[in-house]
Amino acid sequence: MNPAPGGDEALAVAFAAHERWAFSEAYRQNASVLYSAAYNVLGNADDAKDCVAEAIARLWRAPRPYSPGRGSLRNFLIVCVRNEAISRRRHHARRTRMELRLAGMASAHEPFEPGDPIERDRVRSAMLALPPEQRTAIALAFYGGKTHSEISAELREPLGTIKSRIKLGLRKLAAALELPKTEEGAR
């Protein structure tokens, strides 16, 4: 192992250069937030562990997974793990739908297993402050793991309208949740 001499920035540069130690260290520094991101989408420990390990391995295999110009390595990793988790959940949902269909029990709505993050007070407050149509679109996107086309079909709204609602809703939500740097860094 070669710990980064210059902190986050050096770690990001080494990660971009495909240094093995940097991948390992990046995971170590963000282990809990990455595991939680996967768990909150997938809803169980085994799937979350598989998801995190595969997300990191996938980046390791990719020719150019990240560049420092892309922004914070931590944010990048969280998004990658979430995306891996969402893909797995969609795959699982497709399989479940097919099994239900085969059993003659097709359901229009998929169960949403993960713990509801809206329980968290600050997130709940921020979500409730959104206009209802943006709140619905964000909830389906962020917690439901649905594609924009699926949301558009489910809400019977044009794709462009859904995109706008998600874009505006996400910005407002992030702005409401923005933390002082010191507090964020302590997480």
Partner 1 sequence: MTHEQIADIAELYALGMLDESERAAVDEHLLGCSTCAQRLAKAEGDVALIASMEPQRTAPRELQARVDRALQNRRQPWMPAMAIAAAVAIAFLPSLYLWSRTDALHRAMLAQTDAAQRLAGAPHRMARFRTMPGMPPAELAYAPDGSWYLVLVHDASKRLSVAWMHDGTKTMLGDVVPSGHLASLYLPKSHPMDRIALMDGDRIVAEVTLSWGKTSRDRQADRSA
Q: Which residues contact partner 1 (rule: CB under 8 A)? A: 18, 20, 23-24, 27-28, 31-37, 39-40, 45, 49, 52-54, 56-57, 60-61, 63-64, 67, 69-72, 74-76, 78-79, 82-83, 86-87, 115, 117, 119-120, 122-123, 141-142, 145-149, 151, 163, 166-167, 170-171, 173-174, 177-179, 184, 187
Using the minimum distance from each CB to partner 1, give the nearer residue, 104 or 110. Answer: 110
> Degrees (nearest 5) of the Cα angle 99, 105, 109?
85
Cβ 56 to partner 1 shortest distance, Å: 5
- Of 39, 92, 83, 35, nearest to 59 by C-alpha is 83
Asked if 96 contacts 145 with a C-beta cutoff of 8 angstroms, the reply is no
Using the minimum distance from each CB to partner 1, give the nearer residue, 11 or 52. Answer: 52
Using the minimum distance from each CB to partner 1, give the nearer residue, 102 or 161. Answer: 161
Using the minimum distance from each CB to partner 1, give the nearer residue, 105 or 183. Answer: 183
The span from the CA of 174 to the CA of 161, in Å, is 20
Cβ 79 to partner 1 shortest distance, Å: 5
Q: How many residues does the chain have?
A: 187
Cβ 98 to partner 1 shortest distance, Å: 18
Residue 16 CA: distances (Å) to CA of 62, 63, 65, 73: 11, 10, 7, 9
CA-CA-CA-CA torsion sign (110, 114, 117, 119): positive
The span from the CA of 161 to the CA of 158, in Å, is 5
Cβ 114 to partner 1 shortest distance, Å: 9
Cβ 142 to partner 1 shortest distance, Å: 6
Using the minimum distance from each CB to partner 1, give the nearer residue, 105 or 120. Answer: 120
CA torsion angle 108 114 115 119 (round to 10) = -60
